[in-house]
Every structure is written in structure tokens, then in C-alpha cells.
Chain A
Amino acid sequence: MYTQALNTAEADDRGLEDAAKAVQFQARIDGEERIEPNDWMPAAYRKTLTRQISQHAHSEIVGMLPEGNWITRAPTLRRKAALLAKVQDECGHGLYLYAAAETLGTSREELVDAMLAGKAKYSSIFNYPTLTWADIGTIGWLVDGAAIMNQIPLCRCSYGPYARAMIRVCKEESFHQRQGYEIMLTLCRGSDEQKAMAQDALNRWWWPVLMMFGPPDATSQHSDTSTKWKIKRFSNDELRQKFVDATVPQAQYLGLTIPDPGMIQDADGHWRYSEIDWTEFKQVLAGNGPCNRDRLAARRKAHDEGGWVREAAAAYAAKRAQRRTAQAAE
């Protein structure tokens, strides 16, 4: 699914690097060349990307939980299969992204351990609960929609493995988004009860989704380096506005009301939204969202209870290797 714009670039440490190499590196970035795993890169570039890609991977994996919450209760067999396939896709994205992060020199185990220890972040949007079936439609429509807004530019990210991963991920996300919108459309064409369910879900998800794009540009301190390195190509507010402009007509088509009475369309056609409650954002980020504890607990439980399985697989692989060596020696 998606990692939000939490990413802050590491402090510039070029003083410690070979200055000539750094200049060459920046020239490659400026020339829109892709940086590959074995290429020289500044330590801060490596660290920034490791953090961003792993946060993205964690988000995909934690993001399986709110939607997974409805796999066993999907209302029809077609919806059940589509949702299961979707959540499976998210898992695939996670695996793919962990592999991309590993090319920077940190193992999946270390990255996952940091997340389980609460040291690494994942997208705050997954700290909200999925209460009704309409939440599944809304997540596909809005959360995946916001993810696409953010990830399309990442397909041109300067780091090759991340950019390539994003191309594939974006294709699947756009399918998920259409699927989510189709769930909403079905609800909105259904009974009053179903339409109310859809509106209620939009009311609950709208503001958290806008927060997915990260803090406003005015307060965002560290995006300069990421921009210079062509990891980030648009500001948080630019992407947020783009998303809102794309989404408002979709809501109108559904016959749903965006829960922002202050929203107006300006002379240029942009839909201007009201002030976002950043206190809520900070609270959720600080661990006080409705589901932060549940999400981490679920991931830890899966990890802890799966420990003996992973040990068994490793033990068996070691035995097999040993037997092969013994056989070869005979």
C-alpha cells in the first residue's frame, strides 16, 4: 500500500565523504541517471533511502491488517476473492520493497526487528480501524488513491531498485483503487442503509487520508536534500492538492459529501480544503491512534508465534546441506 511522507533526509555528511565522488554523484542525479546498488553513494543517501524504503515496506505489511480484518466477512464470494487477492498483493509489495531495501545493505530481519521494536515507522493511516464493509471500499478508493499520487513520482526516483519496484507496485495499486471505487459505487447505488454506510466511512477516513501526504510544506524541514537527490519530486502540499482535486469529482459522482463544510473551489478550479488538524496526526504518530497498539501487537504475535517455524526451516536447511556435503565426501 503506502508509506506516508514521514521521511526526513539524513544530515548532509559530505564533509566525511570523498568530495570529488560526491560531485560526480550529484551530476549523475542531475542527469537523471539511476543509481544502482553497487554504485558509490553518500552515506546519508543510503541511510535516507533505507529508511524510506523500509518504512514503505512496513506500511505494506501492517496495511494487511485493517483490510485483512474483513477477508473472513466479505459479503460475497467475488468480494472475498478480490479482497484476499488484494491483501496478498500488499504482502507481495512488502516483500519486494524489503528486497529493494536489502540492496542498500541492511537485512530484512534487521528492518523487521526495528519495526517490531517500535523504532521504525509505518504509515499512520493503518492505525485507524475498519469498522464496516464500506471501509474496505474507502481504503481502496482513497488510501490507495493517495498512495498512487505519492508513488507515481517515485517511479522516477533516483535509486534504481526502488524506482523499478514502484512501477510494478503502482500498476497493482491502480487496480486496487478501481476495485475500491467499484465497492463504493455499488454501495451508493444500493439501499439507504448502504449509502449511509459509505458516507460514514468517508467521514471517518477523509481527514486521515489527507494527512497521509505528511506535514504541510511550511513546517516540513528536511525535504530539501530528498529533492536534490531526486527521491522526492513534489512537495507534500502539492501532492495533497492534486489528490483532493482528483477526488472531489469522484465523491460527487458517488453522491457522497466530503466532510469539509469549508471546502470551496477557487477560480483556477482547485478544491481548497479547510485546515487539517495536525494535533491528531502527531498523536497518531506518537503511538496514540485508535489501533497503534493492536497493529504492533498483531505483528509481534505473528512474529513470535512463527519463531519455531522459521527455526525449523533453518534447521532443516542446515541438515540438508550437511547431508549433501557428507554424501559428496563419500
Chain B
Amino acid sequence: MNVANIQVSETPLVLYALRRADDALILGHRLSEWCGHAPMLEEDMALSNIALDLLGQARELYSYAAKVEGKDNDEDRFAYLRDVRQYRNLLLVEQPNGDFAQTLVRQFFYSTLADLYWRAMTASSDATLAAIAAKSEKESAYHLRHASEWIIRLGDGTVESHARAQAAIDHLWAFTGEMFAVDEGERALIHADIAIDPGSLRGRWLTTLSGVISEATLELPQTDWMQQGGRSGRHSEHLGHLLSELQSMQRTFPGQTW
């Protein structure tokens, strides 16, 4: 690992796997920041558990990206030796934890789609992606249930928790549009039945989302403006700080085995 940043040959399939791997790693990393600091021990356990699932998904997807790319990259080189502009995750997942409501709303927005997405991806014509999906869909179903229950508890709990949950929804809503964006390369993978068109999941995503939000006595914002850029490496300022922490050992002691 004696290089500053690795070069990645981002063919459509490599890029596709990397994007999902980055989503899972960055969201898992964010959740792991709670470990030891959650509002109750049960949530220290639950958030760590979800983080571990996501980390596991990330590792499988990175390994697959490395295999498809066929160079000497591996999961750690992808995670530790790419700079902020090379990361391909959604802006949503890099947003700071904020309070518990913000963490759970972020998780809820993500998991509502992840649940549908991984279920659909079990039918992928790519055997590896289908296998990863078969494992991930079970995990995502649990993540969604956990997040949904909390959204309802917070929304329909106290005046304070309601206000915090609503504020988190209002704040994070603008990062949801990017989840459904598709570029040229992905379009080709969709045509080859390797990938799923996320747009085809949007209706069901919104139905599930609205159901929970309404049971929680909360509201979805009316604004349509959506932030984009994560998929092509134009991130928020938050990601650089996350990476400087995540990558600190590999950057400080390059080329060593741990």
C-alpha cells in the first residue's frame, strides 16, 4: 500500500459495485460512531449490529469490485486509499449523526430503499451481486423494521421527540433524490438485467415511507429540490473529515500489514 491514492478503472460494473460498497461503508462507519454513546444500551447493540451488517456488505462489494477490475486493488485499498473525490457514496449516508432522530431518519430513508433494492437484486443476472443481495435483503428488512419503529416512537412520543424527528426529516429530505438517479453506465447494466432501475422502486419506496411517516404523525416536506453529486465524487464537506479518521492509520503508516 505504498501509494498515496490508488487508481481505479471505473468500468460500469466496477463503479456500480463501488457505489454500493461506499454507501454501506460510510453509513456503517457513521453508525459505529454511536458505539458506547447511544441513548440506551439496547441501541448501542442495535446500531452496532446494523453497522456490522453494512460493513459486511461493503466488504463483499469491494471484493467483488476488485475481482471485476482485475488489478491489485482489494477491499482495504478501496476503503483506505481513495480520497474524497474518488468516493462514490450517496450524500445522504455521509451526513453527520446529529441527534438520535437525525441518525434514525437517515437510516430510515436509506433502509426503506435498501430493503426494496436488495430484494429486487436477488434476481440480478450477475451471480455474485445476486448472492450478496440474498444476504443483504434479510439484513435490510431488519434495519427497516428497526428504523420504522423508532420513527413512529419518536414522531408519536413527546412534543420534543416529534419536533426533533420532523426537523431531521426536513433536513435530510433533500438527500433522497440522489438515490434514484441513474447514469449512462448504470443504464447499460439495467438493460443487461445486472442492475435494478431504482426509479422502478420509487413508488413503493414512497408508499412505505409515507405509511410510517403518517403513523408517526409526521409529515414529508413539500420541497422538491434535491442535492446530488455523491455518485460522481462531489461530496459535502463532512466526508473529508470522516475519511481522515477512517484512513488515519493507513495514511500514517503506509504499506504495513495490520
Tell me the A residues contacting B by CB distance below 8 Å. 61, 64-65, 68, 71-81, 84-85, 87-88, 91-92, 94-95, 98, 133, 183, 186-187, 190-191, 193-194, 298, 301-302, 305-313, 315-316, 319
Contacts and interface: CB of A to CB of B under 8 A. Distances in A.
Given A77-B62, A77-B75, A309-B43, 5 more contacts: A68-B37, A75-B258, A84-B52, A302-B39, A312-B160
Given A71-B35, A88-B44, A315-B157, A191 B246 contact: no
A302 B160 contact: no
Contacts of B48: 84-85, 87-88, 91
Interface in B85-143: 99-100
A316 B156 contact: yes
Contacts of B42: 95
B258 A64 contact: no
B225 interface: no
A298 B157 CA distance: 26
Contact of B37 (A85, A92, A301): A301
B157 A312 contact: yes
A175 B99 CA distance: 34
A305 B32 contact: no
Contact of A75 (B37, B51, B62, B249): B249
Nearest to A133: B249
B120 to A, nearest CB: 26
Interface of B: 25, 29, 32-33, 35-45, 48-49, 51-52, 55-56, 58-59, 62, 75-76, 79-80, 99-100, 152-154, 156-158, 160-161, 164, 245-246, 248-250, 253, 256-258
User: Which 6 pairs between the two chains have the least Cβ-Cβ distance?
Assistant: A306-B39, A312-B157, A312-B161, A75-B249, A309-B39, A68-B36
B246 A315 contact: no
Contact of A186 (B37, B152, B257): B257
A194 to B, nearest CB: 6
Nearest to B58: A77
A94 B44 CA distance: 11
Nearest to A194: B256
Contact of A302 (B32, B38, B76, B156): B38
Contact of B55 (A81, A91, A183): A81
Given A74-B249, A298-B37, A308 B158 contact: yes
Given A64-B35, A68-B36, A308-B164, A91 B256 contact: no
A74 B247 CA distance: 8
B36 A84 contact: no
B45 A88 contact: yes
A267 B160 CA distance: 69
Contact of B33 (A72, A77, A81, A307): A72
A72 B246 CA distance: 6
A91 B52 contact: no
26 contacts: A68-B35, A68-B37, A71-B33, A72-B246, A73-B246, A77-B75, A81-B59, A84-B35, A85-B48, A85-B52, A87-B48, A94-B41, A190-B258, A191-B256, A193-B253, A194-B256, A298-B36, A302-B36, A302-B38, A308-B161, A308-B164, A311-B161, A312-B154, A313-B157, A315-B158, A315-B161
Contacts of B25: 77
B32 A71 contact: yes
B90 to A, nearest CB: 19
Contacts of B41: 61, 91, 94-95, 98
A306 B40 contact: yes
A61 B62 CA distance: 33
A195 to B, nearest CB: 11
B198 to A, nearest CB: 26
A77 B157 contact: no
A79 B59 contact: no
A61 B160 CA distance: 28
